[in-house]
Amino acid sequence: AQKITQTQPGMFVQEKEAVTLDCTYDTSDQSYGLFWYKQPSSGEMIFLIYQGSYDEQNATEGRYSLNFQKARKSANLVISASQLGDSAMYFCAMREPRSNDYKLSFGAGTTVTVRA
Amino acid sequence: NAGVTQTPKFQVLKTGQSMTLQCAQDMNHEYMSWYRQDPGMGLRLIHYSVGAGITDQGEVPNGYNVSRSTTEDFPLRLLSAAPSQTSVYFCASSYLQGAKTEAFFGQGTRLTVV
């Protein structure tokens, strides 16, 4: 069964606007971690933001924020004030330390294209 | 700051050839793993290790072997390359400290099997 679902294969956003990338996950664990990574066209994987299952506040890192809805099992990434350099593929990932030996499971990714 | 170093960056193999993708990290991470990335499928886990001498299979282990003789190194061996193994391969490492353990990735290896 798919643990991480990203339903948007590709999105376009106007420069300076905000964009929300959807991520839903499936787990029976109470303790887990959710991560977002960025992969620009150069290919490297860049860590963006982390949200723990017990964190009461939504995570924020600069222009990145997480809309974490635990009951709905969703962890959507919000990029505010989009820049041309934000054009990349974005992956949502989950780690379940108890049941999965710390394995990191990834979604299929969402490609974001920022238009000038 | 070396981080996670993967070699080579590019490789072309003929069907049936074998090769080893190298991965080394200098952060003293217990956990190391190999992923393959294919279009539309995200990153899929091939093999992983939680420490020297300990390895286990991930989601797509067939056709690959790994070993972990030291904390730093985690090579991935393709035993007999097949066109289906054409992919981009990533090595990643992290600490084992519960859920909040960011994974650090190598630069990737683009492998083509002809």
In this predicted model, what pLDDT tens digit does every residue of B78-97 receive, in sequence order? Answer: 999 999 999 999 999 998 87
Say yes or no for a CB contact (<8 Å) between B96 and A102: yes
Quote the tokens at residue A39. Answer: 């992969």
Query: Considering Cα of B94, then A92, then A88, then B64, what sign does the dihedral take?
Result: positive
Sequence-separated (6 or more) residues with CB below 8 Å from residue B41: A108
| pLDDT exceeds cutoff 70 at A100 | no
Q: Which of B41, B50, B101 sits opposite A108 (nearest CB)?
A: B41
Tell me the shortest Cα–Cα distance from B110 to chain A, in angstroms: 10
Query: Considering Cα of A41, then A36, then B54, then B47, what sign does the dihedral take?
Result: negative
Q: Residue range A27-52: average pLDDT? A: 93
Task: Give percent of chain A with pLDDT exceeding 70.
Answer: 95
Using an 8 Å CB-CB cutoff, list chain A residues near B56. Answer: 101
Using an 8 Å CB-CB cutoff, list chain A residues near B44. Answer: 106
Say yes or no for a CB contact (<8 Å) between B103 and A104: yes
Q: What is the pLDDT of residue A45?
A: 95
Ranges A63-77, A87-101, B29-43, B84-98: which has the least confidence: A87-101
Instruction: Note whether A64 contacts B: Cβ–Cβ < 8 A.
Output: no
